[in-house]
Amino acid sequence: MELPGRNRPSLEGEHFQAIVIGGGINGVAIARECARAGRRTLLVEQHDFAAGTTSRSTRIIHGGLRYLEHAELGLVRESLQERRSLLRERPHLVQPIHFLLALDEKSRRSVLSVRAGLWLYRRMGGAHLGVDSSKNDRYKLERLLDAGRRWSIFSFEDAQCEFPERLVAEWLVEAIEAGAVARNYTQVLAVDVRHGRAKAVLMRDELSGKEERVEANWIINATGPWADRMCQRSRIDTKGPMVGGVRGSHIVLPRFPGAPDAAVFTEAVDQRPIFVIPWNDQILVGTTEVPDHGDPSKTVPSPEEIEYLLRSLLRLFPRVKLSARDIRYAFAGVRPLPFSPKTSPSAVSRKHYLHDHADDGAAHMISVIGGKLTTAAALARECMSKIGVTPRAQKKLAMIAANSLDPHLDHWVLQIANAGGISETSASGIVEWHGKRSTVIARMALSSAELRAPLCQHSEHIVAEAVDAFANEYAVTLADVLLRRVPVALGACWSPACSRAAAARIGTVMDWTDHQVAVELEAFETERTAFLRQPGRSDVMLEAAAD
């Protein structure tokens, strides 16, 4: 099978109007916007698209209620506008979620200020999102909370993107359809600066080992926590760091009896805000804020961070019978926040900014600093304006209540089930992750029983989704598929047996040899283990925290 991810012609000597370095959500959004504006665009990523900070986030699409504390009204307004757009445009991936804000009597946030903040947040957010905010969620939460403390509980709406990896994949496909050239597993060795202007990039294809020089009118450094390293390798003197990396760690636990369906926004043991969120049939707890100046690709959650998150959860829910042994995995990413050495990580602005390198002797190069899932599309439009490109006009549509989307999605499910000869359960899973592209996958599935087979015995997702990821979404490895394009390996069921089954079933359809299957399986397990860390079961400190 011819795969666009692996079979790619040389770009040596090519000229693009824009080269975007970095294939996280910001880089892909910028490349998509640039290509849709008719500019010849190259998107380059050193590993796989969405494999860095994007896949290690808290996975919420929110206005940033906490940003009101720092009077960042502009950021909150922008975030809420983008939340509306994503709910409207990607209803299968971005969905409203009911939040409960729980504060005890020791909180430094007064009830009056919280009520005022929530009133303003709702006013700025506009139309009701259609969240099912039943009294049952509040009742469940109250039963779990520490009865020895006095609690104030508030209700509000926000949104969740359980799999931002899928959002990146969709935007990537749209960028390519608009004419962009995309290269993952391609490292930019340096930006070539001549006579005070960024002229080209020197890059190495990690699959072939070939090095190439590609010219551009503009170069966008959207590498997130790697932004300073890119400038250092290119000998661009920025007169000091642009990024102050802050590690955010999360733990993932099984859903416990009595857990509310709502997300909980509360305070950790040190009164920092944290989230306890239903996610992927599990519970996601995060996040921490620890300065991290190491290699972002090697960042891992520290034992102290894991202990902090578990202790905060058990302080909130003292009757929940969970311990360190129950942590399914932990993961960490580095937020590329603006360098602010004299400011606490919590107080550093989450607002992105664009650093123009003209004053650094590298005109026509821009570095993206900061940013978050919610505002990636807005950042992309701003970046286009910065380089003199008029973004494609955005349609102004009325907000659609989320509950009115359900019949439409249900219609897709029935259509996909019939078109692919698969169960409604499998069709539902495909629609939730692939939206309107589900039809393509369903038609593919109809052609053979091997393509209709589940990826593992616990999953409703099928082999056809994996094949589509290789054929149309620039997946190169088994890990690209199972961790990002069809991210079943993030699920509660996943085990080494699931990995072996998925590798064998995908390998059969892809005509891999036994050796290829073994190599892909080993590489997948290595990457998954490095990403999703399992805390040592003999860790005395964790066990003490859980008891």
Domain boundary among 282, 310, 338: 338
Q: How many domains does the chain have?
A: 3
Would residue 457 count as lying in a domain?
yes
Sign of the four-CA dihedral 48, 53, 54, 56: positive
Same domain, 367 and 511: no
Question: Contact, 348 vs 220, CB < 8 A?
Answer: no
Verify that 416 and 512 share a domain, yes or no. yes
In a domain, 204, yes or no: yes
Domain CATH code at residue 378:
3.50.50.60
Spatial separation of the C-alpha atoms in residues 269 and 311, rounded to whole Å: 7
Helix (H, G, I), strand (E, B) or coil at 200: strand
Spatial CB neighbours of 404, under 8 Å, sequence gap ≥ 6? 130
**Nearest residue to 63 (alpha-carbon basis) of 87, 82, 85:** 82
Q: Is residue 6 part of a domain?
A: no
Q: Which pLDDT score is estimated for 332? A: 97
Q: Is residue 68 part of a domain?
A: yes
Please state the separation of Cα 206 from the chain's center in Å.
24
Exposed/middle/buried for residue 377 (C-beta within 10 Å: 0-12, 13-18, 19+): buried
Same domain assignment for residues 258 and 235: no
> Quick check: is 343 in a domain?
no
**Looking at the DSSP assignment, which residues form a beta bridge with residue 201?**
191, 214
Can you read off the two tokens belonging to residue 369?
């600093």
Peptide bond into 287 cis (omega under 30): yes
Query: By residue range, what is the domain housing residue 233?
Result: 15-53+165-243+350-386
- Strand, coil or helix: 280: coil
Please give the pLDDT value at position 5. 58
Indicate if 227 and 363 belong to the same structural domain.
yes
Q: How far apart are CA 354 and CA 357, in angstroms?
A: 9
The CATH number linked to 452 is 1.10.8
- 443 conformational bin, left if phi > 0, alpha if psi -120 to 50, beta if neither: alpha
- Please give the DSSP secondary-structure letter assigned to residue 294: S
Q: What is the pLDDT of residue 536?
A: 67
Q: What are the residues facing 197 on neighbouring strands?
A: 194, 363
Residue 437 inside a domain? The answer is: yes
**Does residue 498 sit in the same domain as residue 472?**
yes
Per-residue pLDDT of the chain (547 residues; tens, 9 = 90+): 545 556 789 999 999 999 999 999 999 999 999 999 999 999 999 999 999 999 999 999 998 888 888 788 999 999 999 999 999 999 999 999 999 999 998 888 889 999 999 999 989 988 788 777 667 888 889 889 988 889 999 999 999 999 999 999 999 999 999 999 999 999 999 999 999 999 999 999 999 999 999 999 999 999 999 999 999 999 999 999 999 999 999 999 999 988 889 999 999 999 999 999 999 999 999 999 999 989 999 999 999 999 999 999 999 999 898 999 999 999 999 999 999 887 877 777 788 899 999 999 999 999 999 989 999 999 999 999 999 988 776 544 333 333 333 445 667 688 888 777 888 888 899 999 998 889 999 999 999 999 999 999 989 999 999 999 999 999 999 999 999 999 999 999 899 999 999 999 999 999 999 999 999 999 999 999 999 998 864 443 444 444 4
Is the same domain home to 272 and 177? no
Q: Report how far residue 104's alpha carbon sits from residue 151's, in angstroms, rounded to the nearest whole number.
A: 4
Q: What angle do CA 371, 375, 380 make, to 5 degrees?
A: 85
C-alpha pair distances (Å), 348 with each of 271, 308, 336, 354, 446:
17, 21, 11, 16, 52
- Expressed in angstroms, the distance from the first to the final Cα of the chain is 54
Is residue 487 helix, strand or coil?
coil
| CATH number, position 92 | 3.30.9.10
Q: Are residues 230 and 255 in the same domain?
A: no
Within this chain, do residues 479 and 525 fall inside the same structural domain, yes or no?
A: yes
List beta partners, residue 92. Answer: none
Q: Is 392 part of any domain? A: no
pLDDT of residue 417: 85
Q: With beta carbons less than 8 A apart as the criterion, state whether 474 and 182 touch.
A: yes
> Does residue 510 share a domain with residue 377?
no
Q: What share of the chain is helix, strand, coil (3-state, %, to 5)?
A: 45, 20, 35
Residues 6+ away with beta carbon under 8 Å from 511 = 1
Domain identity same for 153 and 258: yes
pLDDT the model gives residue 540: 38
* Kind plus residue range of the DSSP H or E element containing 329: strand 329-338
Domain co-membership, 422 together with 515: yes
DSSP string across 401-439: PGGGTHHHHHHHHHHHHHHHT--HHHHHHHHHHHGGGHH
Instruction: In whole angstroms, give the CA distance from residue 367 to residue 336.
Output: 11
pLDDT at 398: 35
Same domain, 93 and 210: no
Instruction: Classify residue 10: in a domain, yes or no.
Output: no
